Structure 1
Amino acid sequence: MAKREVKTDLWVYDLLKQANIHLDPQGSSIKEIDTALKTASKKGTGKVGFPEYVGVVKDYLLVIEDKADLAKHIKLDDKGNISAETAAITDYAVNGAVFYGKHLAENTSYKKVIVFGVSGDEKKHKITPVYIDETEFYRELLEVESFISFNEDNIDEYYIREILKENTDYEKETAEILKDASVLHEDLRNYGNLLDTEKPLIVSGILLALRESEYKNFSVNDLTGDSVKTDGQKIYDAINANLQRANVSPEVKKDKILSQFAFIKDTVKLNEVEPKLKKTPLKHFAEYLNDKIYKSIRYISSAEDYIGRFYGEFMSYSGGDGDR
């Protein structure tokens, strides 16, 4: 078990590094926090206790507790609240995180505390943020897939939107979505020479491939216009990997879905460097989708709605009306 816990600790460290967040492991370099942790034993003995990671981003105090076993993610009491029993605090990720968060909210000057219970590993995991204010009131938030929303660039927007439940300047308006869909559709017509039935497949295929970027299996920068392993082949391979990750079964169903994307690797025009673009059309489309759509999805609770609105509008351009 100890070996599994260490692997989880290292995986969480990698997630923090990817999000450009620096937290201290097993203690704190901030004197006020370090002093408070000297009486933070999870067993309630008044002795020292350390979460896996703790630190500050802007004026937010972040705390992480992790467990290797998904079954040790969270324990609720009879009323459906996060259990405050000593055994639950000791053995479960969310419970331990909330314990440390409350202790630090009470014993430091930080008024905004976000704690995370993390369980599992890179392949299968849960990351649950919980907000704790200066009154030690806590609120469990929607699960996230990474810590990207909590770095210096994004944490204020996350706080306003997910905790205060207010709109932010970063929320894309419908007009912007309509514009993005229109521009992409025009580019697909100009540079792709595609059938109307193929255009939405290009969009959905690239979005599936971009999901593999989270696992370092795909990057837009890898699309170099190589004639041996083409950009289309790289995208196709990433789509295949993502379908496998989603456990699409039976195999015949996965193969049928995958076959619909075969034209991405087989269409010569898509895989040749276009003189005006100075890159392949596929790379151009992937960059556009990555910058305008994929990177704009900061919050897991709005991701599906955002993609749905974009995709629905895009489909209106590809509904068989050749004049659009």
Structure 2
Amino acid sequence: MIEYKGYKDKLIKLDAEGNVANRTAKNQPDFAAINSYAVNGAVHYANAVLHYTSYTDVIAIGVTGYKETSGKLNHLIGVYYVSKNNFGVGQKVDEYTDLSFLKKEHFSAFIEKVKQLSLSQDEIEKLKERREQEITASLVKLNNDIFKSEKGLSENDRVYLVVASIMATLGDVENNVYPLTKADLKSSNERNNTDGDIMIRKIESFLDAKKLPKDKKDLIVRTLQNTLTTDNINKVDDGESQLKRVFIKIVDDLGVYYKIGLNTDFTGKLFNEMYSWLGFTQDQLNDVVLTPPYVATLLCRLARVNKDSFVWDFATGSAGLLVAAMNEMLADAKKKIKSPEELARKSAEIKANQLLGLEILSNVYMLAVLNMIMMGDGSSNILNKDSLKFDGHYGFGKTDEKFPADAFILNPPYSAEGNGMVFVEKALSMMNKGYAAIIIQNSAGSGKAAEYNKRILEHSTLLASIKMPIDLFIGKSSVLTNIYVFRVGEAHQKDDVVKFIDFSNDGYTRSDRKKASRNLFDTDRAKERYQEVVDLVRFGKTKLNILTEKEYYEGHIDPEKGNDWNQTAPIDTRPTLDDFKKTISDYLAWEVSTLLKNQPTEDDRLGK
């Protein structure tokens, strides 16, 4: 993409962080900059290519030229690489004085230079954070627009329309499945050729390309078909069906985000926003609240997830915990495997066979499937089943084999028996080894789930109890939570040491401003604190650094009670020698002060 501006000083506008400044402070498109500056315009159109086509890498070139009064021609060139890998923000390739790098004989060297570009981890985190803020704002706007403009769509219909539209527009060019476009929807009344029929065929092709098991594919198609093929949504009004109008809205508002390859829980954002669409009561909202991504990663690390783990989640929701687990597993594989061929094989194995999730709510299940498909497809064993009736087998493919789980992560529905500990008992009883980390309402550890806890301790050891910040789920839920960490396959003994951590101060400051673009701030070394908690649970007190001894305590529980899991460091009320000295010192100072105040003045002595 090349954009030319025939004006001086109109090559590029950068923001405070040195990025192409195409967004305002409110995270809206900065059309003034896009329109006025050559590079900004080229990067804007490069993002449109990522958004609306199957291309994943674009070179954006801005050129300005002007004549001096003497007639001499001056020009400047800015060359940027815009890609899924840099979240569409664009990276400067190099300095160039002309366009000869595009000549055939120089182009290979130019592309090699592009391939060497990389973002630091800090840059990646900042860009992900910015994009996630934009996603949240876009989802709120999308929901409001559909709610106001499109009548007759239930909450479930809206969820399924978003899922269907995203699946239809993802495409899989390697398997000749091209993204559905607006032009493909003809709004015809012809039998078997309505907009819904066209979209269903595209989704079927997409799922075939993903090599989903037939049973799973049929379930997804059947679920979406109930919404996509209804008469009302395909009825043509003023030359356009309601389905096409909603499809266009979804693709225009969200396409740029899910097409740029965010390595994050994208549909977790949908999940959190869509729950407000689904009209749950407050109690139900407590049950379905999204685990923040940084907490999901914490759970994975506490459960010691690595490239060889087999991870399952018995209340999958949008699959946010499994996304975090998959990221940890793939990162570990990349770190340890140096053969590209072996790494590709292992990555495919992780996604196909080393993750399993159970979700009973069908509308939420669809979000989980979508999430894992978008993450490169770890969706094979995301099952629409009741966890408490689960037999432990793979759901698709190797259905005669037990899933060899050795890592369990969970944020359960708190209204379930024992605040959700019923899921923990079920999962851990089906495991022979490994580790588990769950975040749960803290009353589960102080009596509400005592019977479940006692049975769990018969085959698993409680390693740690971590009190989480009171505002962890601010704006989403009002429950107090703890994380409990277990070693599976070994009964808890009364002399086993349990690490009690008060993590009320996790380094983050949170706000609940409804219209804020950002509500989470690292104000006190949050990332370092989270890593310290992982190290404390694994290695003990020697890793105590940022946290204090008042926040870390090694103690014991009674396996026969099940209600003493939320302990805090005991307060020592015995006075020390220093306390005694200070008390005596304070008393003597008071005595001296009193004596001095009672001394007669010179005037008193003279009788004045």
Task: Return the TM-score normalized by structure 2.
Answer: 0.27
Q: Which has more helix, going by share of residues?
A: 1
The normalised TM-score by structure 1 is 0.47
Q: Which has the higher contact order (CA 8 A, sep 6+)?
A: 1
